[in-house]
Amino acid sequence: MVQATPFLLMLSLALVAPGFSARKQCVLSGRWVNDLGSNMTIGAVNGKGEFTGSYHTAVTATRNEIQLSPLQGSQHRTNNKGQPTFGFTVNWSFSDSVTVFTGQCFVDENGKEVLKTMWLLRSRVDNINDDWKATRVGINIFTRLPSSQKE
């Protein structure tokens, strides 16, 4: 029985290991749409975890015409764990506000990539007495857009 233990260990590793290596990695770069219909494009993530992209919101609290806005962010190095955390900032081109997002890229049980995020939107106010109403908080869930859809 003593000789069978190493054999059984190797056999179990051989049977389990393919399941780990076949696990789908969640990739942040690409085109995404959130639960409100806003579209986002994230470019390639460089070796430092940095990325840029663009955001086209479907919702706004301003009367200004919505415009495509730049985003800059950082992805945590995951050491191939496959579901990275990240954060990015959107500097709105059409208003005096900035939004910061933080979240994680997940692969669900069906193999679908999902970005779960929380955000803070900071709007400019005219004086410190209005500071209480300058920051909003929310959540968004993004799913990958098929490559054939246009933003």
pLDDT over 90, % of the chain: 58
Q: Which two tokens stand for residue 98?
A: 């900035």
- The ranges assigned to domains in the chain are 25-144
Strands (E), the chain: 30-34, 39-42, 50-56, 69-75, 85-91, 97-107, 113-123, 135-144
Write the DSSP symbol of residue 41: E
Tell me if residue 42 falls in helix, strand or coil. strand
**Topology (CATH) of 25-144:** Lipocalin (2.40.128)
Q: What is the pLDDT of residue 94?
A: 85
Residue range 107-151, pLDDT digits in tens: 988 989 999 999 999 999 999 999 999 999 999 999 999 874 444
Distance between the two ends of the chain, CA-based, in angstroms? 63
Which pTM was predicted? 0.77
Residue range 31-77, pLDDT digits in tens: 999 999 899 999 999 999 999 999 998 877 667 677 889 999 999 87
